[in-house]
């Protein structure tokens, strides 16, 4: 093996060796808040938190099927048991009521938590009525469970709390666990990881699946999952699989293209080295600078870095007999392109949005390293045998034909007018703010989600009632105050249920008021003895009741923090959010039917708001897009200044920048005319295409000494354009809208950039 | 909770019971609807004295059964389309799926078989014993399934000639529930000990 080949192999080995620790060192975050403008107020922060981390976004809906009901019920219990011991899950519900297994130390609190004492006192009349009801209960279904409870809780406060803490629409209970009407056992599982974290959700889903499959006999059973986290993981997997499949085909096509263009296997080993080096350097910069990166940063960053793929191609095509390394002819222009692009991306850094800053760091470092690798390492590693692209007969014929193409001076103006007209006439809204529309779910999955959500009675994911107060107790008190109106809304059918935080824990004042109504031990004993007169209960049966009431009289009222030690307190904790010294209570809505009535109620009630998470997140996306647009505009200005300064001639700069700008506008016009609403992904794709277009224009504009050098430029540009159209055209054929958006925009943009560069950049 | 199954159990008793098991079961099939007065004596270990209830049982086919309490309070329990509903004066109705109480569901299935005259299905769920003398007969059903047997020790039907008199449900924890039917329900004052109830059901001399 020659020294040259050894060096190439060593370079690849070095990149491979660096890739692993870098990949491990970089924590990929899915936290959208990194990618949003800094929230300006507490509500925006709350919206961001709710979108990503809210309780509803963490719920996985689980159905177990394809087995006998008793078997499914047994698995449901065993699975819930296993998951409750797994730290990846914050909450597991399957219908098993474990109120009776509640730590007995907590039981006296039932008199402070249950509303019974708001309208009753434990006197003789009340107790006698209750005891008579219990006698009837003992003859009715459910008596066996009742007998255990009765001595301690003759007024059944525990059952009242259980009813109060159970959502209005619970699934059917069968063998003590939830079942769907279709005979599947149902579970609700809340992950600790936020719903947007694809990797963590995939891990949690894997753990859930493994826990289920570890139960004996489950190999033929069916485990069905749904919910936001499941969709996140599933979409990430679908997108990755599709992108990898298309990239593989694209890479193979690219290799064939290179073989046809250069008739050399050697270039295949070299062509990816600068880009790979740049990408690794970019990742290294993120690891050193931040320690983590957002998934979108990486996706957009790798996309934008795609311009670096052109650097080695320029070198290959410009090799000639008297300058075999090919660099001398192209480096000044490449350096200009690299430096001005890097300067342009500084605008992203200046935006202040963490995700955009990371994008700038990654892209700038990647471009500079890829450029340096192209300039200093690539030339010495080039295969010794090559063919001067200027001598290719087809290239000469093509150059001749292109020279004959008419270049009417009115054409750019006409195209500009057409593009502007198209923008005005476009049939659809300019912007697509619903990111979910770009990553749609298969219809079957959506139908299953709806069915499971309905069977489980899971809360609405779009609307949340927000209660704001100075502290948690204020939120609870506010909840108690509005509770009568909320009951009216439910009765009027605005929603099937509205779950306020105060349902789980009354305010301190309410707890103290109830406590004050509890009789002293002696008085209660007398009232009870009188109430028992003539009833068949043994006289000392209710000693545990007397003891609990006595204990309840001395209890310190329960705070959310202490209540959090219990399972229902955990539920409450997810409903209270402290932010900027204020406290926000999140009221979950079930079966929303009349948003208008809910909104009107919220608008008329101080401290209460109806949050529409979809509208709020779309507003955030719009704000984010505005930032990107400003950054892109600033980047364009910086690019123009850099190019004009480097070329030292405004007319030359115009010949470079005009086709680039017009081509970008034309690409947008065609997309809009075709009914495409633009999203962030289109903007990034347009930026990449513009970066490539800058190369075409710069090289076509370059004054050359002879026709042969012009043919080499044509050859290089053709290879670049064909490669881009091939790779991104494949993405455009994807069934996934997000890949289609990027692929179509780049392929279209590159084509326009090429055609307009020929028309406008070449000196006349 | 077992007492909720009494309406179902009653249904079995509205049938004439011939002496031989298979023949007996085959003739248990009974057209719906049918109703009869009952006297229920329920022995609960928590209480010093049994609960004594009077009312009417109502059978409208295996899927639809009702038990009405007239005294000492008013209550209506219905089982229809897999849902148990308990309605008591001055209270919101309490509803739950019958599947929530597997024993109840199993009993319902068992008595569906009994009322359908389906000896094979009955035999699959219970061991069936018959004891008879010149005046009386006693049919004893013991659940085969371990889960049900853990709750229910036996169901015992007493009758004479073609007439069922009593239906008794013996729970595993020692509680017992006895329904006296038709003419047997008319006894006054009601029997208040297990011995008195048994004597009344078997028409033994007090």
Q: Does B100 touch chain A (CB under 8 A)?
A: yes
Q: What is the pLDDT of residue B9?
A: 41
Q: Does B53 touch chain A (CB under 8 A)?
A: yes
Q: Does B4 touch chain A (CB under 8 A)?
A: yes
Is the pLDDT at B162 greater than 70? The verdict is no
Q: Do residues A48 and A620 make contact, with C-beta atoms less than 8 angstroms apart?
A: yes
Using an 8 Å CB-CB cutoff, list chain A residues near B49.
Answer: 536
Of A136, A144, A150, the CB nearest to B1: A144
Structural domain count, chain B: 1
Instruction: Using DSSP, state whether A149 is helix, strand or coil.
Output: helix
Instruction: Using DSSP, state whether A676 is helix, strand or coil.
Output: coil
| Structure tokens that stand for A142 in this block | 């459910």
Instruction: Please name every residue paired with A466 in a beta bridge, in sequence order, or none if there are none.
Output: A586, A609
What range does the domain containing B78 cover? Answer: 2-202
Which tens digits make up the pLDDT trace of A417-459? 999 999 998 888 888 877 667 667 777 888 888 888 888 877 8
Q: Do residues A486 and A168 make contact, with C-beta atoms less than 8 angstroms apart?
A: no
A570 inside domain: no
Inter-chain CB proximity A139 and B101 less than 8 Å: no
pLDDT band at B188 (very low <50, low <70, confident <90, very high): confident
DSSP characters over A266-333: HHHHHHTHHHHHHHHHHHHHHHHHTSEEEHHHHHHHHHHGGGGGHHHHHHHHT-BTTBTT-HHHHHHH
A172 inside domain: no
What range does the domain containing A710 cover? Answer: 402-431+649-764
pLDDT band at B63 (very low <50, low <70, confident <90, very high): low
A328 inside domain: no
Q: Name, in order, each residue with C-beta under 8 angstroms of A732's C-beta and a sequence gap of 6 or more.
A: A740, A743, A744, A747
How far is the alpha carbon of A603 from chain B, nearest alpha carbon, in Å? Answer: 34
Q: Does A135 touch chain B (CB under 8 A)?
A: yes
A471 inside domain: no
Alpha-carbon span B197 to B205, nearest angstrom: 12
Using an 8 Å CB-CB cutoff, list chain B residues near A541.
Answer: 46
CA distances to A60, A430, A523 from A709, rounded to whole Å, are 62, 43, 108
Inter-chain CB proximity B4 and A140 less than 8 Å: yes
Count of Cβ atoms closer than 10 Å to residue A762 Cβ:
19
DSSP characters over A188-241: EEEESS-TT-HHHHHHHHHHHHHHHHTSTTGGGSEEEEESHHHHHHHHHHHHHH
Q: What is the pLDDT of residue B5?
A: 38
A413 inside domain: yes
Do residue A764 and residue A655 come from a single domain? yes
With CA atoms as reference, report the closest residue to A584 among A8, A204, A47: A47
| Structure tokens that stand for A687 in this block | 């930026």
Of B47, B53, B100, the CB nearest to A537: B47
Alpha-carbon span A491 to A485, nearest angstrom: 10
Inter-chain CB proximity B69 and A172 less than 8 Å: no
Inter-chain CB proximity A147 and B51 less than 8 Å: no
Inter-chain CB proximity B88 and A175 less than 8 Å: no
Q: What is the pLDDT of residue B184?
A: 85
Q: What integer is the mean pLDDT of B96-121?
A: 66
| DSSP one-letter code for A37 | P
Alpha-carbon span B34 to B115, nearest angstrom: 12
With CA atoms as reference, report the closest residue to A757 among A711, A702, A712, A719: A702
Count of Cβ atoms closer than 10 Å to residue A407 Cβ:
12
Which tens digits make up the pLDDT trace of A371-398? 999 999 998 888 888 888 988 999 999 9
User: Least CA distance to B178: which residue of chain A?
Assistant: A139
Q: What is the pLDDT of residue B129?
A: 83
How far is the alpha carbon of A179 from chain B, nearest alpha carbon, in Å? Answer: 10
A386 inside domain: no
Of B42, B99, B173, the CB nearest to A174: B99
Which tens digits make up the pLDDT trace of B3-60? 333 334 433 433 333 345 666 655 555 555 678 889 999 999 889 999 999 999 887 7
Using an 8 Å CB-CB cutoff, list chain B residues near A179.
Answer: 99
Q: What is the pLDDT of residue A595?
A: 92
Low-confidence stretches of chain A (pLDDT < 50) are 100
Select from A126, A141, A144, A171 the residue whose CB has the most chain B CBs within 10 Å, as the one to mutate to test that interface: A141
* Positive/negative CA dihedral, B27, B28, B33, B38: positive
DSSP characters over A114-134: STHHHH---SHHHHHHHHHHH
How large is the ipTM?
A: 0.83
Using an 8 Å CB-CB cutoff, list chain A residues near B51.
Answer: 135, 138-139, 536
Using an 8 Å CB-CB cutoff, list chain B residues near A140.
Answer: 3-4, 75, 77, 86
Q: What angle do CA A520, A523, A528 make, to 5 degrees?
A: 120
Select from A70, A129, A136 the residue whose CB has the most chain B CBs within 10 Å, as the one to mutate to test that interface: A136
Using an 8 Å CB-CB cutoff, list chain B residues near A142.
Answer: 1, 4, 101
DSSP characters over A569-617: HHHHHHHEEEETTEEEEEEEEEEE--HHHHHHHHHHSTTEEEEEHHHHH
Of B1, B88, B100, the CB nearest to A173: B100
Q: What is the pLDDT of residue A105?
A: 78
Structural domain count, chain A: 2
Alpha-carbon span A57 to A447, nearest angstrom: 18
A662 inside domain: yes
Using an 8 Å CB-CB cutoff, list chain A residues near B77.
Answer: 140-141
Alpha-carbon span A668 to A686, nearest angstrom: 8
Q: Does A142 touch chain B (CB under 8 A)?
A: yes
| Structure tokens that stand for A85 in this block | 């011991």
Q: What is the pLDDT of residue B110?
A: 61
A90 inside domain: no
Alpha-carbon span A744 to A735, nearest angstrom: 12
Q: What is the CATH number of the domain that holds B85?
A: 2.50.20.10
């Amino acid at each position: 093996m020659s020294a040259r080949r050894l060096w190439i192999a060593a370079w690849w080995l070095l990149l491979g060796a660096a890739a692993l620790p870098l990949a491990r060192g970089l924590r990929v975050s899915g936290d959208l808040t990194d990618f949003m403008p800094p929230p300006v107020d507490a509500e925006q922060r709350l919206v961001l938190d709710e979108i990503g981390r809210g309780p509803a976004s963490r719920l996985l809906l689980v159905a177990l099927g394809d087995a006998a009901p008793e078997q499914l019920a047994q698995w449901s219990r065993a699975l819930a048991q296993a998951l409750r011991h797994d730290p990846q899950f914050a909450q597991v519900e399957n219908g098993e009521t474990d109120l009776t297994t509640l730590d007995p130390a907590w039981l006296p609190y039932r008199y402070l938590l249950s509303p019974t004492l708001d309208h009753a006192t434990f006197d003789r009349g009340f107790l006698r009525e209750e005891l008579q009801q219990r006698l009837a209960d003992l003859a009715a279904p459910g008596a066996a469970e009742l007998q255990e409870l009765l001595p301690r809780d003759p007024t059944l406060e525990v059952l009242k709390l259980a009813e109060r803490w159970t959502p209005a629409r619970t699934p059917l209970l069968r063998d003590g666990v939830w079942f769907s009407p279709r005979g599947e056992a149902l579970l609700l599982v809340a992950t600790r990881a936020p719903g947007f974290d694809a990797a963590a959700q995939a891990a949690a889903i894997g753990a859930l699946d493994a826990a289920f499959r570890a139960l004996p006999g489950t190999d033929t059973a069916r485990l069905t999952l749904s919910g936001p986290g499941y969709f996140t993981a599933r979409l990430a997997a679908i997108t990755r699989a599709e992108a990898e499949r298309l990239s593989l085909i694209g890479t193979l096509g690219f290799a064939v293209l290179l073989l046809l263009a250069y008739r050399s296997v050697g270039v295949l080993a070299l062509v990816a080295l600068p880009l790979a080096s740049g990408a690794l350097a970019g990742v290294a910069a993120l690891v050193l600078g931040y320690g983590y990166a957002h998934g979108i940063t990486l996706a957009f960053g790798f996309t934008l870095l795609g311009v670096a793929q052109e650097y080695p191609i320029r070198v290959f095509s410009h090799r000639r007999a008297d300058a075999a390394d090919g660099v001398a002819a192209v480096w000044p222009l490449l350096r200009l392109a690299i430096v001005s692009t890097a300067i342009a991306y500084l605008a992203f850094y200046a935006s202040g949005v963490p995700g955009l800053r990371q994008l700038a760091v990654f892209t700038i470092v990647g471009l500079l390293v890829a450029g340096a690798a192209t300039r200093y390492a690539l030339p010495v590693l080039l295969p010794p045998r090559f063919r001067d692209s200027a001598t290719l007969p087809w290239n000469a014929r093509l150059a001749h034909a292109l020279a004959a193409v008419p270049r009417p001076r009115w054409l750019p103006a006409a195209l500009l007018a057409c593009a502007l007209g198209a923008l005005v006439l476009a049939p659809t809204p300019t912007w697509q703010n619903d990111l979910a529309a770009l990553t749609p779910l298969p219809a079957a999955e959506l139908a299953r989600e709806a069915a499971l959500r309905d069977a489980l009675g899971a809360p609405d994911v779009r609307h949340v009632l927000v209660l704001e107060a100075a502290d948690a107790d204020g939120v609870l008190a506010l909840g108690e105050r509005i509770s009568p109106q909320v009951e009216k809304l439910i009765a009027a059918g605005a929603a099937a249920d509205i779950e306020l935080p105060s349902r789980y824990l009354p305010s301190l004042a309410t707890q103290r008021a109830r406590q004050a109504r509890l009789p002293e031990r002696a008085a209660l004993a007398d009232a009870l003895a009188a109430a028992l007169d003539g009833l068949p209960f043994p006289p000392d049966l209710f000693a545990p009741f007397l003891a609990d009431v006595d204990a309840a009289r001395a209890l310190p009222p329960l705070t959310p923090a202490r209540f959090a030690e219990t399972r229902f307190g955990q539920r409450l904790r997810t409903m209270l959010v402290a932010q900027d010294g204020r406290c926000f209570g999140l009221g979950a809505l079930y079966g929303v039917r009349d948003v208008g009535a809910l909104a009107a109620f919220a608008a008329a009630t101080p401290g209460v708001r109806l949050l529409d998470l979809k509208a709020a997140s779309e507003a955030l996306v719009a704000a984010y897009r505005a930032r990107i647009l400003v950054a892109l505009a600033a980047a364009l200005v910086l690019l123009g200044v850099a190019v004009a300064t480097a070329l030292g001639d405004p007319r030359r700069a115009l010949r470079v920048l005009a086709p680039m700008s017009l081509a970008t506008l034309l690409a947008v016009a065609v997309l809009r005319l075709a009914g495409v609403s633009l999203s962030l992904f289109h903007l990034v794709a347009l930026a990449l295409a513009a970066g490539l277009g800058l190369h075409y224009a710069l090289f076509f504009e370059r004054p050359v000494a002879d026709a042969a050098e012009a043919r080499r430029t044509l050859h290089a540009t053709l290879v670049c354009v064909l490669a881009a159209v091939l790779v991104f055209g494949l993405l455009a054929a994807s069934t996934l809208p997000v890949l289609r958006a990027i692929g179509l925009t780049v392929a279209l943009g590159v084509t326009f950039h090429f055609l307009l560069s020929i028309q406008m950049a070449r000196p006349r | 909770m077992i007492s909720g199954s009494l309406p179902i159990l009653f249904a079995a008793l509205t049938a004439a019971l011939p002496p031989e098991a298979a023949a007996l079961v085959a003739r248990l099939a009974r057209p719906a609807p049918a109703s009869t007065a009952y006297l229920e004596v329920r022995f609960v270990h928590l209480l010093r004295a049994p609960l004594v209830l009077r009312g009417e049982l109502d059978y409208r086919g295996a899927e639809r059964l009702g038990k009405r309490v007239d005294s000492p309070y008013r209550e209506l329990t219905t089982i229809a389309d897999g849902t148990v509903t308990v309605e008591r004066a001055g209270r919101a109705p309490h509803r739950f799926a019958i599947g929530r109480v597997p024993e109840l569901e199993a009993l319902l299935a068992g008595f569906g078989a009994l009322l359908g005259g389906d000896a094979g299905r009955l035999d699959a769920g219970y061991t069936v014993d018959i004891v008879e003398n010149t005046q009386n007969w006693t049919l004893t059903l013991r659940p085969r399934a371990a889960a049900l047997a853990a709750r229910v020790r036996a169901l015992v039907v007493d009758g004479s000639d073609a007439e069922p008199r009593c239906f008794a449900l013996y729970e595993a924890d020692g509680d017992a529930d006895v329904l006296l039917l038709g003419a047997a329900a008319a006894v006054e004052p009601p029997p208040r000990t297990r011995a008195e109830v048994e004597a009344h059901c078997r028409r033994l001399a007090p």
